[in-house]
Structure 1
């Protein structure tokens, strides 16, 4: 009797374990989060390639449709499209019917945004000089990010600054659209910024490099 009970318990554990595994592996809309977009944050009029990667269903045997503006623009695991002008939105829906006829769907929104970097320096220039003053050793530089197409106030955008690939937390955050620093004695400085919406779903990056004039001119 004892052996019989142990066998029943052991059998129940095996069945329960298999059921849990089957449940965990069942495809869901969340599985479509594994779609790879290149680039991840495209700007305006940019070609984007998409690849569906699945770990819970066989993508090779599934029926996959890529839909824009209610029209099927492509089928299969791979797809490409082009974003619109600055400020426009491309709404892409991925619809999947798996081999066992489960239906999955997910929608992605791509906002065509861009960012420019403008810089100015405190370097002295004589009144008759008509050009832009250039960076010189130890001169103060101010770099300002100008986003395009974000459609919300600049004060609500998140700015993440880097100087020579190093994060600058003190100068980053909501509404912090400029960065100040001093040029070194020699060499160039590379400034990068990532501008994003508060929901982090829309972002754009820009980079500029400023070579310094030598002390001798």
Structure 2
């Protein structure tokens, strides 16, 4: 009886000891795994430039405070091909491909004390175009672009170009607009590729515009910034031919000669005014005499000058244009008419 009891106790003790060792090993291995996860080195890729364009020389650098990068062994590869290897070689360089192409950059790191680490980053050659148009006035025959002036509105349109196998639509992209360092949150957001800026009446001489677009599907990002100068309106005079219309080949800059007993019509064009001519007040003068225009169906932007028979000499024709919606907007110019 006693022998059997002792044998049973011994068997139970052995089984208990084995189970205890198994549990210790399991917890030890689990602890190592958790320890390894918690202490996994933090590594950051730093691109220069941050958002490379097509066919642009680009460098990528490893940044980490988890191990000594100077003593670690680095082995770089670009698109699967070996690039550079050595201790402390924490940077690699390459030239991006065509717009939308991907460059796969991989690195294997062996710290002086630690486990081997492998990291990969995909670099896309992207771009961002920004087109803008101003609401300021230009005549129908003008082939140039309207310029931003005080009181006008400038509309910007951002067109991003990301990877060729682009996932997502522009409505899914995040557009962030910035003016003079200030975030335009009300006009930023997903799909907000159009942005409008009202130029104040007492605005600066220029604005600093920045757009940042991100494709959330791939985290590809592109940014562009530029200066937008603010211009003053320009007043030009053209001879208005009865058959050919405005002679736009050459503006009347300083003087215009006409013969006695003849007549000339002059068209005034307020380039880049914040309002069209029909909304502006035209104040014509010949010497110091006001010339009423715009009555009885007459065009306010056209002056008819008649030289009397036998007359000689010169007279100064001046024009002052006021904007009734912006009293600070005044455009003035003059020229001389020679009767000879």
- The TM-score, its normalising length taken from structure 2, stands at 0.53
Deviations 1:110-160 (A, max 9, x none): 111100110011112111111111111110110010112342311111100
How many angstroms does 1:66 deviate by?
1.2
How many angstroms does 1:71 deviate by?
1.3
Report the Cα distance in structure 1 between the residues aligned to 2:69 and 2:113, rounded to whole angstroms: 12
Give 2:276's aligned residue: none
Report the Cα distance in structure 2 between the residues aligned to 1:155 and 1:26, rounded to whole angstroms: 38
Give 1:37's aligned residue: 47
Q: Does 1:146 align with 2:195?
A: no
- Could you say if the C-alpha distance between residues 36 and 105 of structure 1 is closer, same or farther in structure 2, counting changes exceeding 3 Å? same
**How much is the aligned-residue C-alpha RMSD, in angstroms?**
2.4
> What residue ranges of structure 1 are gaps of 5+ in the alignment?
1-18
Give 1:120's aligned residue: 133
Q: 2:123 aligns with which of 110, 116, 125?
A: 110
Report the Cα distance in structure 2 between the residues aligned to 1:125 and 1:215, rounded to whole angstroms: 10
How many angstroms does 1:199 deviate by?
4.5
> What residue ranges of structure 2 are gaps of 5+ in the alignment?
1-30, 236-340
- Could you say if the C-alpha distance between residues 200 and 89 of structure 1 is closer, same or farther in structure 2, counting changes exceeding 3 Å? closer
Give 2:94's aligned residue: 81
How many angstroms does 1:193 deviate by?
0.3
Report the Cα distance in structure 2 between the residues aligned to 1:50 and 1:156, rounded to whole angstroms: 28
- The TM-score, its normalising length taken from structure 1, stands at 0.80
Give 2:180's aligned residue: 164
Give 2:143's aligned residue: 130
Q: What is the 5 A alignment of 1:53-92?
A: 53-75=63-85, 76-92=89-105
Structure 1 residue matching 2:171: 3-state secondary structure: helix
Q: Does 1:196 align with 2:214?
A: yes
- Could you say if the C-alpha distance between residues 37 and 27 of structure 1 is closer, same or farther in structure 2, counting changes exceeding 3 Å? farther
Considering Cα pairs closer than 8 Å and 6+ residues apart, tell me whether 1 or 2 has the greater RCO.
1
Structure with larger Rg: 2
How many angstroms does 1:27 deviate by?
6.0
Deviations 1:194-216 (A, max 9, x none): 01111472100112322122256
Moved more, 178-187 or 159-168: 178-187
On the 8 A contact 2:174/2:189 being kept in 1, the answer is yes
Report the Cα distance in structure 2 between the residues aligned to 1:157 and 1:114, rounded to whole angstroms: 14
Deviations 1:81-126 (A, max 9, x none): 2221110001111111222462101110111110011001111211
Moved more, 103-112 or 56-65: 56-65
Report the Cα distance in structure 1 between the residues aligned to 2:39 and 2:84, rounded to whole angstroms: 22
On the 8 A contact 1:117/1:207 being kept in 2, the answer is no
- Could you say if the C-alpha distance between residues 50 and 204 of structure 1 is closer, same or farther in structure 2, counting changes exceeding 3 Å? same
- Could you say if the C-alpha distance between residues 191 and 101 of structure 1 is closer, same or farther in structure 2, counting changes exceeding 3 Å? closer
